[in-house]
Structure 1
């Protein structure tokens, strides 16, 4: 399969609390006056707005000329190649090549045990650049922050300076991606859209703010906590409310529904889940629990996918009941592959050997 990866250089404007990048595959879309024409089968890319708690411009690379969209999801990985991180990376490269994936999503805890110390920290090279070397992984990595990232210099991961060390890296506290898939060169041939909302869950977790733990986290750059949480929730609600996409995915680090070691986080069940359900989000994808899971409960329309098996794993699974809606749970290492087209989204888990463990297809 031909995997066309043409570097695109969108502008990321500054304004409120996250950023948005809008991409059209094999067609044309002008969202604001500011657009960059790439001239490859009429592909256009532009970024109409970005919001607060971000850094400046980025240079993500997106594959063009596709009727569908494929990407990989991995979390909890940055251990300088140890705990089978290198083996998982090798299988990601293989599957990514077979699927022709356009980008990679990281669900956080990007660098263990305490994030990065600064933009020159060699951990970035040892855990990222030197590990994910396959040709299919030489594309943009869209990352959210995890709790271990917050134990280091968070601003280093968000900085444009670190992108000069590896152009693939794109990390913000929260941001939005918009994709349109087309099967021809005219706008009328565009028949499917995907909106992805990347959400910063770490500030929501109460235990990180206790007197015993608060000093272990670096909250630099955030508003006062309650203000920060409300700002994020309001902007997610606004983004989902204005979205008319065929498919909607929200990505965060912490679990909402899980039978892993950490289980459900009550703070997210209370504050985030109602928004996902209200606006009919198709899937919430997270890490944090170091395993692979798919949960679809009878009392919710949201599919919950945990992809936190990028390196150290085997913390155990909780006993669970039928009411918890566990479709798949694997206490082991691996990653998730997602393919989106006009009619369906497919989710497939792969293990450290590259074997497909489970597949789920979500139709309209």
Structure 2
């Protein structure tokens, strides 16, 4: 049984983290179908349980300080009550310069309870990550589950497209790849994530060049959600041409 676009439920909160759950849990009137639901509610425990995908979206997490541990503890506490199997890690995974010698304090220790429960983290590269060997050691690091600098994977009825949005990215080939992969995807839900914001009201603000690159593509291929970090806060847009923009840069870095 396929899920429909209107069944994507975005949940904010979790101590400022972005929690996203996909499932047959919500009915809306026709005039609401083009946008994301604005009322936050927990999905029923039994409705569409076998179809639901629940995951945490976080970014700018790799500080290795008490703020990151507090954020990680909130994630672990929620997992005990509402198990999930995936964390999208949208860049700046290791501060300050992506040094792999800090991966213990900046990743393995804070998230040890989740890693022990076999929760998978799927990362992309942030601007701090590429300061060391252009981020290549992180791409090779098994617990980040990166199938390249940009890649795609599917979880149930949701397909994720993970980008390298840094200034030195291979933009020409990456954009051609994204267009092709979005076009061939049969997933009812398509979610794209990268480190840098497209729409934001934060320090860096809305990026006109990123809008030019991505907005027409997202509209053409009916991408329902874009997730990013870089801005150290939580923010969610209303639907813009069918796409909601979710800023989740509150994994532990200073606000």
Q: TM-score range by the shorter chain?
A: 0.7 to 0.9
Tell me the residue number matched to 2:132. Answer: 152
Tell me the residue number matched to 1:74. Answer: 58
Q: Is the 8 A contact 1:81 1:131 kept in 2?
A: no
Tell me the residue number matched to 1:202. Answer: 166
Which of 243, 248, 255 is 1:307 aligned to? 248
The within-5 A match list for 1:95-244 is 95-116=78-99, 121-135=100-114, 138-153=118-133, 154-159=135-140, 162-163=141-142, 168-171=143-146, 172-180=148-156, 193-203=157-167, 228-244=170-186
Instruction: Please say which structure displays the higher CA radius of gyration.
Output: 1
Measure the CA separation in 1 of the matches of 2:158 and 2:130: 29
Q: Structure 2 regions of 5+ residues with no counterpart?
A: 1-48
Q: Deviations over 1:267-297 (max 9, x none)?
A: 2111122111111100001111001010125
> How big is the shift at 1:81?
2.5
Measure the CA separation in 2 of the matches of 1:289 and 1:202: 14
Measure the CA separation in 2 of the matches of 1:151 and 1:66: 42
Tell me the residue number matched to 1:48. Answer: none
> How big is the shift at 1:313?
3.3
Corresponding position: 1:251 with 2:193: yes
Q: Is the 8 A contact 1:291 1:313 kept in 2?
A: no
Q: Is the 8 A contact 1:74 1:307 kept in 2?
A: yes
Measure the CA separation in 2 of the matches of 1:259 and 1:100: 32
Measure the CA separation in 2 of the matches of 1:266 and 1:295: 16
**Runs of 4+ more than 6 Å apart:** none
Q: Is the 8 A contact 1:114 1:148 kept in 2?
A: yes
Q: Deviations over 1:199-256 (max 9, x none)?
A: 11113xxxxxxxxxxxxxxx6xx6xxxxx21111111010111112111100111000
Measure the CA separation in 2 of the matches of 1:256 and 1:135: 30
> How big is the shift at 1:68?
1.6
Measure the CA separation in 1 of the matches of 2:139 and 2:230: 20
Cα RMSD after superposing both structures: 1.8
> How big is the shift at 1:70?
1.2
> How many pairs were matched up?
204
The structure with higher relative contact order (CA 8 Å, sep 6+) is 2
Tell me the residue number matched to 1:338. Answer: none
Q: Deviations over 1:164-189 (max 9, x none)?
A: xxxx3313311111233xxxxxxxxx
Measure the CA separation in 1 of the matches of 2:241 and 2:204: 20
Q: TM-score, normalised by structure 1?
A: 0.53
The structure richer in helix per residue is 2
Q: Is the 8 A contact 2:62 2:253 kept in 1?
A: no
Q: Is the 8 A contact 2:163 2:193 kept in 1?
A: yes
The structure richer in strand per residue is 1
Tell me the residue number matched to 2:233. Answer: 291
Tell me the residue number matched to 1:270. Answer: 212
Aligned to 1:202, the other structure's residue is in SS state coil
Q: Is the 8 A contact 1:72 1:96 kept in 2?
A: no
Measure the CA separation in 2 of the matches of 1:267 and 1:147: 17
Tell me the residue number matched to 2:74. Answer: 91
Aligned to 1:248, the other structure's residue is in SS state strand
Measure the CA separation in 1 of the matches of 2:60 and 2:114: 22
